[in-house]
Amino acid sequence: MERNFLLTIEYDGSEFSGWQRQPDRRTVQGELERALSKVCGGSVQINGSSRTDAGVHGLGARASFRGEYGIPTDRLKLAANNILAGGKNLAAQVGDVRILDVQEMPLEFHARFDAKGKKYRYVILNDSNQDIFRRKYCYQIAKPLDMEAMRRAADHIVGTHDFACFQSAGGQERETTVRTVYSLEIFQKGSDIWIEIAGDGFLYNMVRIIAGTLVEVGLGYRKPDDLREIIKSRDRKQAGHKAPAEGLYLVEVYYE
Amino acid sequence: MERNFLLTIEYDGSEFSGWQRQPDRRTVQGELERALSKVCGGSVQINGSSRTDAGVHGLGARASFRGEYGIPTDRLKLAANNILAGGKNLAAQVGDVRILDVQEMPLEFHARFDAKGKKYRYVILNDSNQDIFRRKYCYQIAKPLDMEAMRRAADHIVGTHDFACFQSAGGQERETTVRTVYSLEIFQKGSDIWIEIAGDGFLYNMVRIIAGTLVEVGLGYRKPDDLREIIKSRDRKQAGHKAPAEGLYLVEVYYE
């Protein structure tokens, strides 16, 4: 009998060439499919909720796959995680991708097409002292950022807009560049600043370009109200730089 | 006029093939020499205090070099760090090795020969929940460790002993395997357990084998008083496993 599995996945993106399967490259999808195919005894192909770029991390990524597999979901998780851990760091038995949860879903469910929205976090270490041990895990900015100015800029982004200004060239073709940002929060965590953004969907590199633009506001290079004109322009060149992949985490994918 | 520079160095060992310069490999010494040679305009060769293995980290490593260079020490540090940062992560400008301090020393000073001792830290994440983002930075052990038992075992190690049992084959030839451990402290830091060991010198892999043996005591596989017999045996096979490089940090080098 065919079944449909929904995985919740955590990964450290620093040693992956992104999510999407590619020949001769180590990718998150590729590693998961390799492990799941062994466990299920068939060629498993998964559908991921988000094709994150190289260096981007996942805390609660999702993927689904179907097949006539008799394995209990608990056993699937344990066995796949054992394979995933073994490859990278044998001594400590800690891999850089692991399955946090496996659920069975109705056959028609699809992790990407049924996603109603996503939440990303962008992590900035805002400290005059660099932390070399976190260089793969955050964007390090020495000058103090004006969080109040960043929050006022963020208010212009929340809501339904045409976000063409925040889209890199090179992504997949989209029918429209209109998206709805449900919330955009900026808060302090020790020496870190977290930008958390939730929305119904995101254009290619949208979160990183928003983070880079907000950083430029925080540094005083742009005014908070400039965001209104930037968005209206629909012009990528009007927005700020693309913040590095290292600071970006996919936190959650929303389903009905 | 010839001058003698003493560097204090921090590095994330995870992407280095250890400290020591090797052809066609990225090493801490190699990267530092490349940067310093550019800054000084000559072929700089440094003498490091400790030749740490691949994966081992440095918080306060030391190295010295001599030469007829007119550059102020502050400028030397800044210029070398700029080169060191540029190579690895251009967007965030954070490298995986950097110079924390440069001092001028008398000409006869030598960072290795004049070292009177060293302090290492071994970091264990002792939690049933793994942290995939720290897999290069600690030894992850799910079962609770008995810290009191580990401390009683550690008491047998402190002092002057023949530590042949804690030495891996393959290191440089040493005249004697007698060393003095000044202190060996074990303490909790949140979910982490830190083993800090200071001594006049350490044999090849000595700290990692001590950490592995203490972990086996903490797990109840060995008794604290077994350490007496292990040390007396002078036999590597009697001691525990070699804990992974990822958990080891060179914290400090002592000079007069």
- CATH of residue A32's domain is 3.30.70.580
Residue A86 has what pLDDT?
77
Residues 6 or more apart whose CB falls under 8 angstroms from that of B193 comprise B123, B124, B126, B145, B147, B186, B187
Tell whether B54 and B149 lie within a shared domain.
no
- Chain B residues closer than 8 Å to A243 by CB: 91
Considering chain A, what is the average pLDDT of its residues? 94
Q: What is the pLDDT of residues A221-253, one digit of tens each?
A: 999 999 999 999 999 999 999 999 999 999 999
Shared-domain flag, residues A153 and A239: yes
Shared-domain flag, residues A234 and A131: yes
Task: Give tens-digit pLDDT for A114-130.
Answer: 999 999 999 999 999 89
Q: Which two tokens stand for residue A46?
A: 């998964």
Residue where a domain terminates, one of A105, A131, A153: A105
Distance from CA of B250 to the nearest CA of A (A): 14
Structural domains counted in chain B? 2
Same-domain check for residues B138 and B59? no
Last residue of a domain, one of A75, A105, A135: A105
Please check whether residue B112 lies inside any domain of the structure.
Answer: no
Question: Could you tell me if A133 and A227 lie in one domain?
Answer: yes
CB neighbours of residue B132 within 10 Å: 21
pLDDT at A152: 98
Chain A residues touching residue B88 (CB < 8 angstroms): 135
Average pLDDT of the residues of chain B: 94
Asked, for residue A52, whether it belongs to a domain, the answer is yes
Q: Domain for residue B247, yes or no?
A: yes
Tell me the pTM.
Answer: 0.92
Q: Which residues of B touch A249 (CB under 8 A)?
A: none
Contact of A122 with A139, CB cutoff 8 Å: yes
SS3 B226: helix
Q: What is the pLDDT of residue A89?
A: 44
Span B136-186, pLDDT tens digits = 999 999 999 999 999 999 999 999 999 999 999 877 767 899 999 999 999
Q: What is the mean pLDDT of residues B212-217?
A: 97
DSSP H or E stretch at residue A99: strand A97-105
Residues near B232 by beta carbon (within 8 Å), at least 6 away in sequence? none
Q: Are residues A121 and A101 in the same domain?
A: no
Pairing mode, if any, of strands B57-67 and B248-254?
A: parallel
pLDDT of residue A90: 41
B51 CB-contact burial (10 Å; exposed 0-12 / middle 13-18 / buried 19+)? middle
Question: Helices H, strands E: what count in chain A?
Answer: 5, 10
> How high is the pLDDT of residue B175?
84
Tell me how crowded residue A43 is: count the other CB atoms within 10 A of its CB.
9
Asked if the structure places residue B91 within a domain, the reply is: yes
Could you tell me if residue A110 is inside a domain?
Answer: no
> Is B41 in the same domain as B134?
no
| pLDDT interval class at A88 (50, 70, 90) | very low
Q: What is the pLDDT of residue A94?
A: 82
Domain boundary at A56, A76, A105, which? A105
pLDDT at B224: 98
Question: Is the Cβ–Cβ distance between B117 and B182 less than 8 Å?
Answer: yes
Give the phi and the psi of residue A249 in degrees, each rounded to 5: -130, 130
Q: Is residue B199 within 8 Å of residue B232, measured between CB atoms?
A: no
- Asked if residue B121 is part of any domain, the answer here is yes
B100 and B125 assigned to the same domain: no
For chain B, the helix, strand and coil percentages under 3-state DSSP, each to the nearest 5: 30, 30, 40
The predicted pLDDT at position B94 comes to 82
pLDDT at residue A169, as a whole number: 84
Where residue B200 sits, what CATH number does that domain have? 3.30.70.660
Give the ipTM. Answer: 0.89
Looking at residue B90, its pLDDT comes to 41
B89 to A135: CB separation less than 8 angstroms, yes or no: yes
User: For A173-228, how does the pLDDT look when each residue is reduced to its tens digit (9 = 90+)?
Assistant: 678 999 999 999 999 999 999 999 999 999 999 999 999 999 999 999 999 999 99
Mean pLDDT in residue range B237-253:
97
The partner residue sitting opposite A133, judged by closest CB among B88, B137, B244, is B137
Contact between residue B148 and residue B231 where contact means Cβ atoms under 8 Å apart: no
User: Is A169 inside any structural domain?
Assistant: yes
Question: B65 and B126, same structural domain?
Answer: no
Q: Which residues of A are catalytic?
A: 53
Q: Do B246 and A89 touch (CB under 8 A)?
A: yes
- Provide the residue range defining the domain that includes A218: 117-254
Residue with tokens 């800044």: B78
Are A130 and A221 contained in the same domain? yes
Helix axes B206-218, B147-157, angle to 10 degrees: 140
Q: Give me the helix-helix angle, B226-233 and B147-157, nearest 10°.
A: 40
* Whether residue A170 sits in one domain with residue A67: no
Distance, in angstroms, between A37 CA and closest chain B CA? Answer: 22
Q: Is residue B111 part of a domain?
A: no
Check whether residue B121 and residue B88 sit in a common domain.
no
